[in-house]
Amino acid sequence: MKLLWFIPTHGDSRYLGSAHGARSASFDYFRQVAIAADSLGYEGVLIPTGRSCEDPWVVAASLIGETRRLKFLVALRPGLVAPSQSARMAASFDRLSGGRLLVNLVTGGDAEELAGDGQFLSHAERYEQSVEFMKIWREVIARSHAQQDFDFDGKHLRVQGAKLLYPPVTRPYPPLFFGGSSEAAHELAAEQFDTYLTWGEPPAAVAEKVADIRRRAAKHGRTLSFGIRLHVIVRETEDEAWRAAGALLSHLDDATITAAQQRFGQMDSVGQRRMAELNKGKFNRANIREGLEIAPNLWAGVGLVRGGAGTALVGNPEQVAARLKEYAAIGLDHFILSGYPHLEEAHRVAELVFPLLPLQRDAGPRPVNVLSGPFGEIVANSFAPPAAAPVRVGAS
């Protein structure tokens, strides 16, 4: 099992939907969370994307030198950056971090946000564009190891002589992650990605997704790994954990929930719609488990106001570990976790849950890789200078 944590670049708090107990999204705080995750033994961190967040690539790059082993799961956004430019960004990050890049494709599900970024494609067209984007991205990086050009002429994207002169450390390219719940998303994952991510739905629903994507991948002669995105509220006793879940919603008012649910309803994301269906926009203040505990220890209260991942595992260490192992038995091996506040909860999960899980963790600092690529200044923006002839000592 590989456990990753989360850098809260959209802000952090002790209470959802409220400024009470809030923390600013500052570099110092991101640094604290990243160093905690690195020193505690998390495999990596997810850095979110969108207009509600600091830019993920800038944040991730700023944290390379602050960490030793930590990997960074960073978003690609088709349509916002050209695929060849994204390939250069990814290769540079992978090189400068010593092979610590993981890539997460995000197609977007909020039409209003996308319009603000100049994207006006429909849901189906965004997936068409994503297919083309990934074909270019993968080929440009894969061919960089042999310094080959790549041409592509598609419906939405076109490149001619695309070339990457500085290949990434990771071959053939940094690992590719993707999550989506629509049929188009499942097909894209099966055809192009290494790891499929789901939000925290009940185990039976997750098992259906895994089975569907495995069938689709088999048709392409491929196999994938799988992961899940979940919040965690773990305490030494079950009662303490549920009291902490209640406290998380204690400053939340009905008007904020209504506004959030209406906003989610305007999005065309199938995954977001599935999250909303789990909580139905309501909760009983006297009994926060009622209607929101959708499977043993799986609580949909976070999704009342938070977009994206909206469920949390709530319980004592043994219960949380048992639920994670239940997902692992389905075939999941990547677990991207978070909790409020993110700094403290990173420690709780590591201290209380890690000892109960079969974790895959690095034994020490990553080895220094010998970088391939041109030596000397690139000539005419296109090719490397000829290799220098070896100096022979004592030749007459």
Q: What is the pLDDT of residues 67-94, one digit of tens each?
A: 999 999 999 999 899 999 999 999 999 9
pLDDT given for residue 104 in this prediction? 96
What's the mean pLDDT in 29-57? 96
In the predicted model, is pLDDT for residue 342 greater than 50?
A: yes
pLDDT for res 257: 92
Comparison of pLDDT for 283 and 220, the residue scoring more:
220
d(Cα 83, Cα 138) in Å, to the nearest integer?
A: 9
The CATH architecture that domain 2-76+175-356 belongs to is: Alpha-Beta Barrel (3.20)
Q: State residue 379's pLDDT score.
A: 73
Write down the pLDDT at residue 6: 98
pLDDT at 375 over 80: no
Query: Given this model, what pLDDT does residue 264 score?
Result: 85
Band the pLDDT of 182: cuts 50, 70, 90: very high
> What pLDDT band is residue 382 in, cutting at 50, 70 and 90?
confident
What tokens appear for 102 in the block?
Answer: 């993981």
| Residue 114 banded pLDDT, cuts 50, 70, 90 | confident
User: Which percentage of the chain shows pLDDT scores above 70?
Assistant: 94
Are 162 and 133 a contacting pair, CB within 8 Å?
no
Q: Evaluate if residue 41 carries a pLDDT over 70.
A: yes
Distance CA 301, CA 285 (A): 11
To which residue do tokens 């082993």 refer? 69
Residue 308 has pLDDT above 80, yes or no: yes
- pLDDT for residue 360: 78
* Structure confidence at residue 383 as a pLDDT band (50, 70, 90): confident
Q: Is the pLDDT of residue 49 over 60?
A: yes
pLDDT in tens, 155-164: 999 999 999 9
- In this prediction, residue 395 carries a pLDDT of 47
Per-residue pLDDT, averaged over 49-64, amounts to 95
Q: Please report which residue ranges of the chain form alpha helices under DSSP H.
A: 27-40, 56-62, 83-97, 111-116, 123-144, 183-192, 203-219, 238-248, 254-265, 270-279, 317-330, 342-352
Q: pTM value?
A: 0.92
Q: How confident is the model at residue 370 (pLDDT cuts 50, 70, 90)?
A: low
Long-range contact set of residues 352-357: C-beta below 8 Å, sequence gap at least 24:
352/234, 352/235, 352/236, 352/317, 352/320, 353/232, 353/234, 353/317, 353/320, 353/321, 353/324, 354/3, 354/40, 354/41, 356/317, 356/318, 356/321, 357/1, 357/3, 357/321, 357/324, 357/325
Q: Over 80: is that where the pLDDT of 381 sits?
A: no
- Mean pLDDT over 3-19 rounds to 95
Q: Is the pLDDT of residue 191 over 60?
A: yes
Cis preceding linkage at 174, omega within 30? no
Exposed, middle or buried by CB within 10 Å (0-12, 13-18, 19+), for 7? Answer: buried
Looking at per-residue pLDDT, the higher value among 361 and 192 belongs to 192
Q: Which two tokens stand for residue 3?
A: 């456990």
Lowest-confidence region among 117-126, 219-228, 365-374: 365-374
